[in-house]
Structure 1
Amino acid sequence: MPSEEFVHGMLYVSLTVVGVPGNTAVILAFFLLLHKENQLLPADAIVLHLACANLLVVGVRCLLEIVASFRLASIFGDIGCKAVIFVYRTSRSLSIWLTFVLSAYQCLSIAPPGSRWASARALVAHYLGFVFLFLWILNTCMSSAAILFSFGRQNNSSMTNHGINVLYCYVHFPSKLSKEANGAAQVGRDVVPMALMTVASLIILVFLYKHSQQVKGLRSSSGGSGRSGGAEQRAAKAVVVLVTLYVALYGIDNGLWVYTLTVRRTMSSSLISDLRIFFSSLYAALSPLVIIVSNRKVNGRLRCVVQEKPVKEKATSLSTM
């Protein structure tokens, strides 16, 4: 096996080792919380949905990249390629839009009670199920091109320059116009939520800055040393970190995608496609770590699970004596 393929495979192994357990832990923590409290707050439901989408991104695409790196790519036929690329694109775009929904909801959450924005937050919370349904329908429809244009590697003899090599499959477009139109739709689908979540994050940062200035003023006037913060502030900071991570990694991803659309021969090398998949999968692998560290509910549930396990083992050993 060439060293390039080995390094490629090991990179995706590292993403899988981090991303699958991380997202699974977040999902498990929220299900335990749901079992205990019989309900989830809207922000928690969004994070749970985001973790599910990220788990699909890492579990589907990274595992298949590993399989392809170790020269098992021939197992994918046309149907397998269509299914894999469709699921990956749908879950990837869902991850993007859910990150935007999370940032927008958190932006509304820091609005003062009784304001117009607080009313909008209550409206979003009430219809959150419809928001999820709309996002699923939107992203499923926008990913439908993968069903038409994805083929197995055994059919590569009929491919033209209007295609993209993704190592174990080919995404083949019938013409340059269809390729550019599909690419423009994907870039627009990513750039729109990117711009909106950036605006929401800037609003959050302005609020946090003003809040810290007010706290400093209160400290200086009262001579106290109280701590600023609260659940909303901690959650807002975590959302800003997630959005920053998204903009950095998906910004590179979309930049490489635009480059792919502008060069003539992308079928001869899969390097650009590999880099795009890696950076988009990197967000899905790292975001659960941010959630686990910053979300006290997730952190607390996971600690309870870890602490309960040795207690149960100890009780079992005592009962057998």
Structure 2
Amino acid sequence: MSSEEFVRGMLYLSLTVVGVPGNATIILAFLLLLHQENRLLPADVIVLHLACVNLLVVGVRCLLETLASFRLASIFGDVGCKAVIFVYRTSRSLSIWLTFVLSAYQCLSIAPPGSGWASARALVARYLGVVFFFLWLLNTSMSSAAILFSFGTKNDSSLTNHAINVQFCYVHFPSKLSKQINGAGQVGRDVVPMALMTLASLIILVFLYKHSHQVKGLRSSSGGGGGSGGAEQRAAKAVVALVTLYVVLYGVDNGLWVYTLTVKKTMTSSLISDLRIFFSSLYAALSPVVIIASNRKVNGRLRCVVQEKPVQQKATSLSTI
């Protein structure tokens, strides 16, 4: 094994070690909440769906890249490359769009009751299943090119400058135009939700800024402390943190993708593709850390599980006496 393969394997292993347990923990916490309360709030459903998609990103891409880098499994044949790249691109873009849906819903949540924005929030909550279905349909259809153009062969003589080297696979476009159209579609699919979620986050930040000044004014006039809406403010700050993390990491990812499309002979090296996959997968691995640290429902379920274990062990020991 070369040093390059070892470093690549260790990087993907680190994402796997962080991302798989993190996303699985969030999924488990919300499933426990659903079992106990028989319902989930719309924001909880969005976060749960986001965790499932992020788990798919880390599992399908980072875990398999780790196994292949350390030569523990041979996965990337023609069929394997088509399946992995298709599922990865679909789940990656779904992660982006679900982050936008979460930020937009949180933006609507801070609207005053009775306003038109509050009615829009109720409408989104009512048709959330339709929103999920539309996003799955949109992103699977836009990722279908991976099924046609992905190959596992490394016969460089059959490849042209229209091919993109992704280390264990090649994405071989039939022409320069098809490569540019596909690349522009992927960039547009990312930039649109990026712009919208950035706008939603700015609205949330403005609201939090005004709210903090109102609270300070009330405290100074009444001499008391405290204010309502603490849970909503914490949720809003968590969403802003997720969006900031997304914009930074996926901004780098899309910058590298544009470079891949504009520079000739990108198939000769997989370094750029490795960096793109790493930065785009980094969001799926790190976002659970933000959610676990900021979401009280997730924290509450995890604390209950941790506290129940000593009680169950104590009861078991008493029953054996």
What TM bracket, shorter-length normalisation?
over 0.9
Counterpart in 2 of 1:285?
285
Distance 2:157 2:171 in 1: 13
Q: Give structure 2 stretches of 5+ with no counterpart.
A: none
Deviations 1:25-72 (A, max 9, x none): 000000000001111000000000000000000011001111221245
Q: Quick one: percent identity of the two aligned structures?
A: 86
Distance 1:63 1:234 in 2: 33
Distance 2:170 2:282 in 1: 22
SS at match of 1:216: helix
Distance 2:312 2:215 in 1: 45
Please give the TM-score of this superposition, normalised by the length of structure 1.
0.97
| 1:255 and 2:252 aligned | no
Assess if the C-alpha contact under 8 Å between 2:68 and 2:75 holds in 1: no
Counterpart in 1 of 2:112?
112
Task: Say if 1:159 and 1:230 are closer, same or farther in 2 by CA, change over 3 A.
Answer: same
Deviation at 1:230, TM superposition (A): 1.6
Deviation at 1:313, TM superposition (A): 1.8
Alignment of 1:15-26 (within 5 A): 15-26=15-26
Task: Say if 1:73 and 1:146 are closer, same or farther in 2 by CA, change over 3 A.
Answer: farther
Counterpart in 2 of 1:319?
319
**Residue identity in the other structure for 1:78:** D
Distance 1:43 1:74 in 2: 39
Distance 1:311 1:157 in 2: 65
Distance 1:44 1:165 in 2: 38
Deviations 1:149-184 (A, max 9, x none): 000135554221111111111111011111111000
Matched length: 321
Counterpart in 2 of 1:125?
125
| 1:28 and 2:24 aligned | no
Counterpart in 1 of 2:231?
231
Deviations 1:239-258 (A, max 9, x none): 00000000000000000000
Q: Give structure 1 stretches of 5+ with no counterpart.
A: none
Counterpart in 1 of 2:296?
296
Assess if the C-alpha contact under 8 Å between 2:64 and 2:75 holds in 1: no
What is the root-mean-square deviation of aligned Cα atoms in Å? 1.2
Task: Say if 1:264 and 1:155 are closer, same or farther in 2 by CA, change over 3 A.
Answer: same
Counterpart in 1 of 2:149?
149
| 1:54 and 2:54 aligned | yes
Counterpart in 2 of 1:268?
268
Counterpart in 2 of 1:197?
197
Distance 2:10 2:127 in 1: 42
Distance 1:256 1:228 in 2: 44
